């Protein structure tokens, strides 16, 4: 509850025992986001409501984070909406990025015993300066709400904002954007690159829509109106055309563009209580499972039924091709139907 801030908790569960957490950590401020390091899975980056970020090390028996930002060392002035680990830097130091409503995107590097911060980008709102009292020029900042880094092009990342715009940014230019998408009418709640196709990303917003984009084209390829605010959207790890979204009326939706370009294959009510909203959704990277989180702090684990994870049928004597190339081609085929016939891209 943003009005009355209390303590935060981080709980780590195993699917084998969902009734009791394996690890629990409590914090002074509410926890907004977290991300596991892909190469060192015991490292957990966390962003807090008070604008701090921290790193917890599961190998250590301590309940305190191993590293934490402070007012002296570049903490955000608003809630941190997302944290994401990146590849280790040239000196093999671990580093992660954070995005916050204060309009800063900050890179944090673990150097010896401290977190070193560097502002990667400052989002500025349109008409960057405001007239303050006595003719002072005040800088107004755009509010970042979500971001994602490109899987292959190391410097490229996307930032969604409260104003509904999505910025395409580079780690090497801090002052300007490569491109701006007028994506949504309300806050962008989530934005992420497709795990297979290098040009495609998806975004969702409180304006009820989920949109799929080709980053070289300014208009969306597919638009889905889910009739209520969309809290989160996620691509599946096993198919380039499958994604799922949660809406604040407590429903999870699973789409497969390859089967149906217009409608979800499945819409499932996940939470039943009236005032509860579903806020987050994530695919398990290995098993056909999705987890959905809601405002009451409950996490629901759902198994995808076989029709939601159909793989191509094997015909007699023919081997079905599998692998990333097939996934890219599958999505490319769909996109070529909606791109303008004139464009050669």
Is-above-0.95 flag for pTM? no
DSSP line for 225-279: E-SS-EEEEEE-SS-TTEEEEEETTTEEEEEETTT-SSS-SEEEE---STT--EE
pLDDT of residue 320: 55
pLDDT of residue 128: 47
* 3-state secondary structure (DSSP) of residue 333: helix
In degrees and rounded to multiples of 5, residue 83 shows phi and psi of: -125, 145
Alpha-carbon gap, residue 43 to 195, rounded angstroms: 23
Structure-token match 């935060």, residue found: 8
Write down the domain spans for the chain.
227-308
Write the DSSP symbol of residue 175: S
H or E element in which residue 167 lies: strand 165-170
Cβ(76)–Cβ(100) below 8 Å: yes
pLDDT of residue 127: 44
Question: Model confidence over 147-173: pLDDT tens digits?
Answer: 888 888 878 889 888 888 888 888 776
- Torsion of the alpha carbons at 40, 41, 43 and 48, rounded to the nearest 10: 140
Question: Model confidence over 91-148: pLDDT tens digits?
Answer: 788 889 898 888 888 888 888 878 888 878 777 655 444 444 555 555 556 788 888 8
Lowest pLDDT segment from 28-32, 298-302, 308-312: 308-312
Q: What is the mean pLDDT of the chain?
A: 82
Question: Model confidence over 198-244: pLDDT tens digits?
Answer: 889 999 999 999 999 988 888 888 999 999 999 999 999 888 889 99
* 3-state secondary structure (DSSP) of residue 307: helix
Cβ(159)–Cβ(105) below 8 Å: yes
Q: Would the pLDDT of 329 be above 70? A: yes
* Mode of pairing for the β-strands spanning 124-131 and 137-141: antiparallel
CATH placement of domain 227-308: 2.40.10
pLDDT of residue 292: 92
């Amino acid at each position: 509850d943003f009005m009355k801030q209390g303590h935060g908790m981080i709980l780590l569960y195993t699917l084998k025992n969902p009734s009791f957490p394996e690890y629990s950590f409590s914090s002074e401020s509410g926890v907004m986001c977290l991300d596991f390091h892909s190469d060192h899975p015991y490292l957990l980056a966390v962003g807090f409501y008070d604008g701090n970020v921290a790193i917890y090390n599961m190998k250590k028996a301590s309940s305190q984070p191993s590293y934490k930002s402070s007012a002296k060392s570049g903490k955000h002035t608003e809630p941190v909406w997302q944290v994401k680990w990146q590849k280790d830097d040239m000196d093999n130091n671990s580093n992660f990025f954070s995005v916050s409503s204060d309009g800063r995107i900050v890179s944090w590097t673990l150097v010896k015993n401290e977190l070193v911060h560097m502002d990667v980008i400052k989002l500025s709102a349109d008409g960057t300066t405001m007239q303050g009292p006595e003719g002072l020029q005040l800088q107004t900042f755009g509010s970042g709400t979500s971001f994602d880094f490109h899987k292959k092009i190391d410097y490229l990342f996307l930032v969604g904002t409260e104003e509904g715009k999505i910025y395409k940014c580079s780690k090497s230019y801090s002052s300007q954007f490569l491109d701006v998408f007028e994506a949504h009418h309300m806050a962008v709640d989530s934005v992420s690159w497709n795990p297979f196709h290098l040009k495609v990303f998806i975004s969702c917003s409180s304006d009820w829509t989920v949109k799929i984009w080709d980053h070289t084209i300014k208009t969306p390829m597919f638009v889905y109106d889910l009739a209520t605010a969309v809290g989160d959207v996620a691509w599946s790890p096993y198919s380039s055309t499958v994604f799922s979204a949660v809406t604040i009326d407590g429903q999870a939706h699973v789409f497969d563009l390859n089967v149906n370009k217009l409608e979800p294959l499945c819409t499932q009510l996940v939470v039943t209580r009236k005032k509860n909203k579903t806020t987050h959704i994530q695919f398990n990277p290995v098993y056909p499972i999705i987890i959905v989180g809601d405002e009451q702090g409950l996490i629901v684990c759902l198994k995808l039924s076989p029709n939601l994870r159909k793989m191509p049928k094997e015909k007699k004597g023919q081997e079905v091709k599998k692998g990333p190339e097939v996934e890219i081609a599958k999505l490319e085929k769909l996109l070529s139907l909606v791109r303008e016939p004139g464009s050669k891209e």
